[in-house]
Structure 1
Amino acid sequence: MASTETRRHGPRVFGPQEIAAAADVLRGGGLLAFPTETVYGLGADATDGRAVARIFAAKGRPAFNPLIVHVVDKAAAEAFAVFDAAADDLAMRFWPGPLTLVLPLRDDHELSPLVTAGLETVAVRVPASPLARDLLGRVGRPVAAPSANPSGRVSATRAIHVIEGLGDRIDGVLDGGACRVGLESTILRTAPLALLREGGLAAEEIEAALGHVLTRDVTPGKVQAPGQLSSHYAPGRPVRLSVTDRDPDAALLGFGLVAGDLTLSAQGDLVEAAANLFDHLHAIDRLAGAAGKTRIDVAPIPEKGLGRAINDRLRRAAAPRAPKG
């Protein structure tokens, strides 16, 4: 049976064998959600201003929040970004992979100004997912792709999360199953070198490769890279962190020895916890609603390795939310 599914109320879902048709959506100016090793991205042709504007409209994303551009290889990135020696070294070591580099724009770049939110830099990465790279190669253009979820909400790590969150606001979803890493990419600025966002590549691994400790600039006063808003990744209910005791008013997301209604990793494995984080946040939000719980509690996560990125997402999920309107 063919895997293509046409929904009355929702995007067309493409299976991996239909990747050529999925690429045509992007080439035609449409919005396509696609899997990377980190999370599902909501893609549009980064050189097409109308298509990029649809990303912001579909997500309800603030226009001052820049987007990550995904490319098939470093050569494709060099068409619009300037690589210095540090960027060359980082790309050689960690691409393809869950690392985004914030680099100066070339004067002759053809990206839509919406991609960079008016900044003189661009965030770019080469994903490790073979399906994503196959898609990008077929599109033949840079693809702007923030996470495929409504702005400020929990990121999508499965196609069903995309459909539930964005519905018929987008044109298609390339279903590649669950994302392996499960956390958005780590973001580095290279001039001067600084960590702008914790993510799926542990900062300690980068520091070991470079031979020195990174300067951290993860919550600046002015947004200079995606994922730096103080309130982000939020489920539908308030979140309380570092909880070890059960509360009858809350659903508990466990870790290690603290067992919950759902548990990120019973073995205390941070890699497993990172891969499960967003899927479990979606699931425990539904569970809390069904059980009449008013809050989500989360067990303590060690502040080391991928635990830093997990805690970064959880702190932003728990941050006070700006009023609507």
Structure 2
Amino acid sequence: METKIFKPDQIDQAAAEIKKGNLVSFPTETVYGLGADATNVQAVEKVYQAKGRPSDNPLIVHVADISTVEKYAQPLNEKTKQLIKQFWPGPLTIILKLKPHVLSSKVTGGLKTAAFRNPDKEATLNLIRKAGVPLVGPSANTSGKPSPTLAKHVYHDLNGKIAGILDAGATDFGVESTVLDLSTNHPTILRPGAVTSQAIEKVIGPVVDEQKHVGKTEVPKAPGMKYTHYSPTASVQIVDNENQWKSVTEWAANQSGKVGILATDAILNDYNWPQNVETYSLGNDVKSASHALFAGLRNFDLHSDITDILVEGFTTEGIGEAYMNRLNKSAGQKHFE
């Protein structure tokens, strides 16, 4: 299969592929998603095949308007309406109870709930409208690898496996959406993202933070709760504080292979790095670091000779919570000592 690159003025062609039951990657404000008709079981099955993703992992349903959510979900309560008004379109995914038999178990993972999102990217909203159906949209990468923030990242992983990629440039945030479970008695954050818990609580009051991995026999309600995520081929370690970087340079100099360093400019400019070190800038702060994290991991993943990657850690405040959530999963909780 030839994977075509569609520009925003070619959305009709991209939508035609969706209508045929084929897969088209689309950009959002967070990462690139892998789009298929959420109402077409065969198309949804192709998503799992292309990604190499276990089929018990539910998929987020991307919509262009609230009326589509109301078509599939149980009546929306007041808190849900307030959140939609405040954060949609935007990087907030909400899990809602479904009406009976409206979406395939291939989409829901066999649950009676589904995750909905209204992305803040006009090209993708136009694609959904043109296709005339909601789109499932997990990150458009090989399962377990860092999420794609550029069309070329998608092409690297999925060339020949999908019909096309809607290329609208780099994403804005770089980490996936916040996932908020509204199907329970207490609103619960299952995955932190660009919409922080503090921002949500300003709208609806207290929320529960429940970031965890489920067991082998459990069905996760949201992506990233069960399987390894965001991992490049090389081993990843987190550098927790500035005082450790001198030790990092000494450690790197003693490694037989190449070492990748992902850090802010202040760190990169403060040290004389050994010749076997390749560096990648995370910018100036945690916000820019969140945007650059996946791109940096992917950059080093393309270098087969890089055996270790060391990444700057941040405090878990604000967007730092989402950044450290992804980084800890990428590193398998390994910290430089």
Confirm or deny a common fold (TM above 0.5). Answer: yes
Distance 1:108 1:204 in 2: 35
What does the per-residue CA deviation read over 1:254-293, in whole Å, with 9 as the maximum and x for residues that have no partner? 136322811212x22x222222121111113334x3xx33
Match of 1:86 in 2: 79
Distance 1:320 1:303, change over 3 A: closer
Pair 1:194–1:180, CA change in 2 (3 A): same
Kept after mapping to 2: 8 A contact 1:47/1:142? yes
Equivalent position of 2:233 in the other structure: 236
The yes-or-no answer on 1:185 pairing with 2:146 is: no
- Is 1:156 matched up with 2:148? yes
Of 290, 294, 298, the match for 1:278: 294
Task: Please report how far the alpha carbon of residue 220 of structure 1 lies from its aligned counterpart in structure 2 after TM superposition.
Answer: 4.4
| Deviation at residue 47 of structure 1 after TM alignment | 0.6
CA RMSD of aligned residues (A): 1.8
Alignment correspondent of 1:261 = 279
Letter of the 1:78 counterpart = E
Contact 2:144 2:227 in 1 (8 A): no
**What residue is the counterpart of 1:306 in the other structure?**
319
Amino acid at match of 1:77: V
1:101 and 2:110 are equivalent in the alignment:
no
Stretch moving more, 245-254 or 127-136: 245-254
Q: Provide closer, same or farther for how the CA distance between residues 282 and 220 of structure 1 changes in structure 2, counting only shifts above 3 A.
A: closer
Residue 226, structure 1, aligned to residue 223, structure 2: yes
CA distance in 2, matches of 1:199, 1:30: 29
What's the counterpart of residue 38 of structure 2? 46
Tell me: CA distance 1:256–1:307, structure 2 relative to 1, closer, same or farther (3 Å).
Answer: farther
Amino acid at match of 1:97: G
The answer to whether the aligner puts 1:73 opposite 2:65 as a matched pair is: yes
Match of 2:271 in 1: none
Runs of 4+ that moved beyond 6 A: none
Equivalent residue in structure 1 for 2:188, among 177, 184, 194: 194
SS in 1 for 2:306: coil
Quick check: 2:141–2:147 contact (8 Å CA) kept in 1? yes
Distance in 2 of aligned mates of 1:258 and 1:39: 26
Q: Higher Cα Rg: structure 1 or 2?
A: 2
Equivalents in 2 of 1:124, 1:30: separation in Å? 21
Q: 1:21, 1:252 → 2: CA distance?
A: 41
Q: Quote the Cα distance in structure 2 between the aligned partners of 1:133 and 1:310.
A: 26
Structure 2: where are the runs of 5+ without partners? Answer: 269-277
Helix, strand or coil at the partner of 1:169: coil
Deviations 1:155-191 (A, max 9, x none): 1111100010111111111111101111111000012
Deviation at 1:134, TM superposition (A): 0.9
Find the aligned partners of 1:320 and 1:296 in 2 and give their Cα distance: 13
Distance in 1 between the 2:32 and 2:196 partners? 20
Query: Secondary structure, in 3 states, of the residue corresponding to 1:79?
Result: helix
CA–CA distance in 1 between the matches of 2:124 and 2:118?
A: 9
Shift of 1:306: 0.8
1:29 positional shift: 0.4
Q: Is the 8 A contact 1:46 1:143 kept in 2?
A: yes
Give distance in 2, aligned partners of 1:120 and 1:202.
26
User: Secondary structure of the equivalent of 1:261?
Assistant: strand
1:202 Cα shift?
2.0
Displacement of 1:10: 4.3
**CA–CA distance in 1 between the matches of 2:265 and 2:65?**
38
Q: How does 1:204-223 map to 2 (within 5 A)?
A: 204-212=198-206, 214-221=207-214, 222=218, 223=220
The Cα shift of 1:234 comes to 0.7
| Kept in 1: contact 2:82–2:203 (CA 8 A) | no
TM-score (norm 1): 0.90
**Residue 30 of structure 1: how far off its partner (Å):** 0.4
Cα distance between partner residues in 2 of 1:238 and 1:229: 20
Give the share of equivalent positions with the same residue, in percent.
37
- Equivalent residue number for residue 135 of structure 1: 127
- Distance in 2 (alpha carbons) for counterparts of 1:220 and 1:316: 10
Q: Are 2:157 and 1:165 equivalent residues in the alignment?
A: yes
1:25-64 map, 5 Å: 25-64=17-56
- In 2: Cα distance, 1:28 partner to 1:204 partner: 42
Instruction: Find the residue that maps to 2:159 and give its secondary structure.
Output: helix
Deviation digits for residues 79-118 of structure 1 (CA, Å, limit 9, x no counterpart): 1112222211211111110000000011252x22200010
Residues 131-170 of structure 1: per-residue CA shift (max 9 Å, x gap): 1111111111111110000101111111100010111111
1:76 Cα deviation after fit: 0.9
* Conserved? CA contact 1:219–1:230, under 8 Å: no
Q: Give the letter for the 2:280 counterpart.
A: L
Q: 2-side partners of 1:62 and 1:93: how far apart?
A: 33
Aligned 8 A contact 1:230 1:316 in 2: no
| Contiguous gaps of at least 5 residues in structure 1 | 1-8
